[in-house]
Copies of this chain bind each other. A is one copy, B any other.
Amino acid sequence: MAEEVKVFGACLSPFSRRVELALRLKGVPYEYIEEDIFKNKSPLLLKYNPVHKKVPVLLHNRKPIAESLVILEYIEETWKGNPILPEDPYEKAKARFWTKFTDEKCLPALRKAGWSPENEREKAVEEACECLKTLESSLNGKRFFGGDTVGMVDIAANFIGFWLTIMQEATGRKLLSAEKFPELFKWTDEFVSCSVVKESLPPKDKLLAFYKARVAEAKEAQTNAPK
């Protein structure tokens, strides 16, 4: 029986792009189903992820799995080739630690820094930079967080590797620069230069347009807010 591998995702979502990147790294062919996550979630998405009602969902031989980091672990265990986690339990624990840090600390901090109202901006930027500094320290001279090849931390950090640059361009709020975070900046370069990574990134112009529309919306909301 041919394997059935489907990904329910959204073009601009870093979370569903994580799943696509992992499958591509493993060389697993998959069918991609684009979800309209803002206006019209499909009945299948709601059926497969009734708890969070979010992308990504991986459907493997009719069995659904939700939550990008849970899916990455599943992919790693199901398709053994081109591992995205080290074999050694201690090194694996370290990779999981940094994956969690990226997901739970860096991403919320970066989003807050990008979108917080002007009067909260300074503090939010400071906190986000603190996170980036900590994450950078774990690179420690390596090409990727995973060493010589892209691993789970790199995949989880795809937002920092690609989305962040575009978010900065749209909002005019500079967080990650070569001067401030030389190692991390070099990593983003290495990351987006990988051919397999490139294949699992959204088109830059589409993401930029999305972020610019959001900036415009935020400005309008501020203008209309009661003084």
Contact = CB atoms under 8 A, between A and B. Distances in A.
A33 B92 CA distance: 25
Contacts of A60: 90
A204 interface: no
Contact of A74 (B70, B73, B89, B134): B89
Interface string A69-91: 11101100110000000000110
A100 interface: yes
A96 interface: yes
Contacts of A69: 100
A65 interface: yes
A187 B187 CA distance: 47
A95 to B, nearest CB: 9
A73 B96 contact: yes
Contacts of A65: 90, 93-94, 97
Contacts of A97: 51, 65-67, 70
Contacts of A51: 97, 101, 134
A134 B51 CA distance: 7
Question: Chain A interface mostly helix, strand, loop or mixed?
Answer: helix
Interface residues of A, number: 24
B63 A100 contact: no
Nearest to A94: B65
A138 to B, nearest CB: 9
Interface string A169-193: 0000000000000000000000000
A14 to B, nearest CB: 18
Interface of A: 51, 60, 63, 65-67, 69-71, 73-74, 77-78, 89-90, 92-94, 96-97, 100-101, 104, 134
17 contacts: A51-B97, A51-B101, A65-B90, A65-B93, A66-B97, A67-B96, A67-B97, A70-B96, A70-B100, A73-B92, A73-B93, A73-B96, A74-B90, A74-B93, A77-B89, A77-B92, A78-B89
